[in-house]
Chains A and B, each alone.
Chain A
Amino acid sequence: MTNAYKYSIIYFLAFSLLLMISGVLLFEYKIGFSVEQISSYYLGDEDKFMNPQTSSGILKIITPHIFAFGLFIMVLLHFLIFTKKRSSKILKAVIYLTFLSAILELLSPFGIINSIEFFAYVKLLSFIIFELLVLFSSWLLFRSIVYE
């Protein structure tokens, strides 16, 4: 990998960090980081004048995210294949877990609007796991560019 490509990847990681921060801020402002807040966001709350979310409304939000998540994860993780971590078991686990947590994060609202409270926990946990995995992958990539 030439130095110029390394520069662009490091800048890409900086953008990824901003993307993660914006995701966390959006989650906090729109939904909230507690199971009760997640449930009331999707099921509605009369006291807060919040309407319940509908399947079509959720689908409208997640459709662009399905593509964006897939593309972002692919771009971020495929850079790791060019590092020394290429054939490690950790990388394999990170790849599967990142896609799994992303899909759970996207689809769990459908469970919540069907009054299955368990999915509020899934939504919260999958979001946190996804963010941590992206940060971990970014750190692995950053370390390999700087130190290898």
Chain B
Amino acid sequence: MRFTLIKDLKQDSMMKPILSGLLLFTLLYLISDIFVKYSSFGVFEETIKTTLFGNEDEFLDPITTSAFLEFWHMEIFFIMMILLTLSAVFIRLSGAKGFNIIIVKAVMISALISLVALLLSFFVNAVFVQLYVLSFFLWHICAFYMSLYSLIKFYYD
């Protein structure tokens, strides 16, 4: 987190390529996360419900509790580390004012809601899957905006 202490980040010849690389990798991660989930866990309501609860007509078994908890555990770790790093860079570059502060709050809250909704979908009621899908896409869109905005700020501002 040394970049939070450097005075003019855009003029720093060492930190600029390092942080640009980080932002580029974050963008790639956000895109590939959607594709990976699309082909495994599911990103839309019906496929997620099939993964979580199975489908008798298609002879598909539901996910086991321990497999679900492992998935949830890993998701939390990845999301928290990505969003902490990304928000630190974004706050540093955007000046953390007005709309951008709202975006930081939106990305964090929607990611938290997506994780809680996923747990509730599995243990409490399938109705929470809708909330999970909505918050999942919301935090991805916000994180995508944050990465892109930071990259543009680096080179065109």
> Which of A's residues lie within 8 Å of B, judged by CB?
2-5, 7-8, 11-12, 14-16, 18-19, 22-23, 25-26, 29-30, 68, 71-72, 75, 78
| CB atoms of B88 and A5 under 8 A apart | yes
In the complex, A147 Cα to B101 Cα: how many Å?
21
Q: How many residue-residue contacts, CB under 8 A, span A and B?
A: 70
| CB atoms of B115 and A18 under 8 A apart | yes
B47-94 contacts to A (CB < 8 Å): 65-66, 69-70, 72-73, 76-77, 79-81, 83-84, 87-88, 91
Asked if B112 CB lies within 8 Å of chain A CBs, one says yes
Which of B72, B83, B111, B112 contacts A22 (CB under 8 A)? B72
| CB atoms of B101 and A15 under 8 A apart | no
| CB atoms of B112 and A26 under 8 A apart | no
Pairs across A and B, CB under 8 Å, 25 listed: A2-B91, A5-B4, A8-B83, A8-B84, A8-B108, A11-B83, A11-B108, A11-B109, A12-B80, A12-B84, A15-B112, A16-B80, A18-B76, A18-B116, A19-B73, A19-B80, A22-B76, A23-B73, A26-B70, A26-B73, A29-B66, A30-B69, A75-B81, A75-B84, A78-B1
Q: Which residue of B lies closest to A79 (CB)?
A: B1
| CB atoms of B66 and A72 under 8 A apart | no
Q: Tell whether A8 pairs with B104 under 8 Å between CB atoms, given A22-B76, A75-B84.
A: yes
Task: Count residues of B near A (Cβ-Cβ below 8 Å).
Answer: 28
| Those 5 A-B pairs whose CB atoms lie nearest each other, nearest first | A4-B96, A15-B80, A11-B108, A22-B73, A8-B87
Taking chain A's interface residues, is the majority helix, strand, or loop, or is none over half, making it mixed? helix
Inter-chain contacts of B109 with A (CB < 8 A): 11
B92-117 contacts to A (CB < 8 Å): 96, 101, 104-105, 108-109, 111-112, 115-116
Q: Tell whether A7 pairs with B104 under 8 Å between CB atoms, given A19-B73, A22-B72.
A: yes
